[in-house]
Structure 1
Amino acid sequence: MQTPAQALDAPQGRVILTITGKIGETNAERQAQFDLAMLEALPQHSFVTQTPWENGSIKFTGPLLRDVLAAVKAQGTQLKATALNDYRIVIPVDDDRRFDIVLAHRMNDQLIPVRTRGPLFIIYPFDSRKELRSNTYYERSIWQLKSLDID
């Protein structure tokens, strides 16, 4: 039987995302670790959008960021996202309520390798709203995501 402090299953594969900070569900000491299978077990969403980094429209697939945050019972007002290269950006939690942000693990139905911005990419649906086509939201679309700290 799982305890409230450790209600998430432990990852069976390679950990690709670690969430820390103000969370109510963990599967390791004061953190929640996810492998690809755990992220794929969440409801999956796809959208097609253009980005400033690719030519043409790209299909992105993964769980909604809000579903990932709900899985760990996140409480806070901002996400401190960190990439594999230690690029950091702060994302207001309010973005997650306003937009269908995807934590993409697939581009055009293919897993995203590290060399092409993987394994995880926080992506906004830029083509869905004009306000999203700005540097503010482009900067928040962090690729090679490795961790989120909820504050």
Structure 2
Amino acid sequence: MWKSLRRLLVTLLVASAAASGTPAMASEDGTYRIRLTGALARGQTGSISVKELEKLGLQEAEAYNPLEHRSEVYTGVLLQDLVTVLGTNAVQSLTTTAIDHYEIHFEKREWNKFRIMLATRVNGDYIGFEEKGPVRIVFPDFDPNQLEYQEMLPKWMWMITKIEFNK
């Protein structure tokens, strides 16, 4: 039931954004801004555009998306690199928040152990809200046969609008 309610809410939010000509349209060209909060490195501002995020160092990987049951080529920034550039040395975890206020928490040990990507593109194209953008979390090395990846399945996240750097 919660999944259906969440889907309905996301659909309404996307439709509202598309009708107003705001974020959904802007996200498709990399100009949508992600809000940044918490323990940010000196000189970092409270937001970053998708294009600016890509300047942190892009990685590309073909990965199987277990939620959509298909392989696609994802391009984005690894969480480990994101924290190194944008966060202070004291950052121990990240909290990502979606447009519907759904939150996922990542511990430092997770991004040090797994390749966790903040994907900005799918198959070479920026991700619009209607495709679950502007950025999403993917695990490039996902293996459905490994228990540790099965446990990470709930952390595949989309429509991220905020990243909090936690001490």
TM interval, shorter chain, is 0.7 to 0.9
Residues 92 and 18 (structure 1), Cα distance of their counterparts in 2 relative to 1, 3 Å cut? same
1:24-103 equivalences under 5 Å are 24-28=41-45, 31=46, 33-74=47-88, 75-103=90-118
Provide, for residues 40-68 of structure 1, a one-character-per-residue CA deviation record: whole Å limited to 9, x for no partner.
21211011111222232111111111111
Which residue does the alignment assign to 1:5? Answer: none
1:112: Cα distance to partner? 1.0
8 Å contact 1:18–1:148 — kept in the other structure? Answer: yes
| Matched residues, number | 135
8 Å contact 2:83–2:91 — kept in the other structure? Answer: no
8 Å contact 2:31–2:51 — kept in the other structure? Answer: no
Query: 4+ runs of 1 displaced by more than 6 Å?
Result: none
Which residue does the alignment assign to 2:130? Answer: 115
User: What TM-score does the superposition give when structure 1 sets the normalisation length?
Assistant: 0.78
1:14: Cα distance to partner? 4.0
CA distance, structure 1, for counterparts of residue 161 and residue 44 of structure 2: 16
- Name the SS of the counterpart of 1:138 in structure 2: helix
8 Å contact 1:124–1:132 — kept in the other structure? Answer: no
More helix by share: 2
Q: Single out whichever of 72-81 and 82-91 deviates more from structure 2.
A: 72-81
Provide, for residues 2-57 of structure 1, a one-character-per-residue CA deviation record: whole Å limited to 9, x for no partner.
xxxxxxxxxxx8452122112223443xx3x1112211212110111112222321
8 Å contact 1:25–1:71 — kept in the other structure? Answer: no
1:120: Cα distance to partner? 0.3
8 Å contact 1:49–1:127 — kept in the other structure? Answer: no
- Name the SS of the counterpart of 1:79 in structure 2: strand
1:80: Cα distance to partner? 1.4
Pairwise CA RMSD of aligned residues? 2.1
* Structure 2: unaligned runs, 5 residues or longer: 1-29
- 2:153 matches 1:138: yes
- Name the SS of the counterpart of 1:80 in structure 2: strand
- Name the SS of the counterpart of 2:143 in structure 1: helix
- 2:166 matches 1:148: no
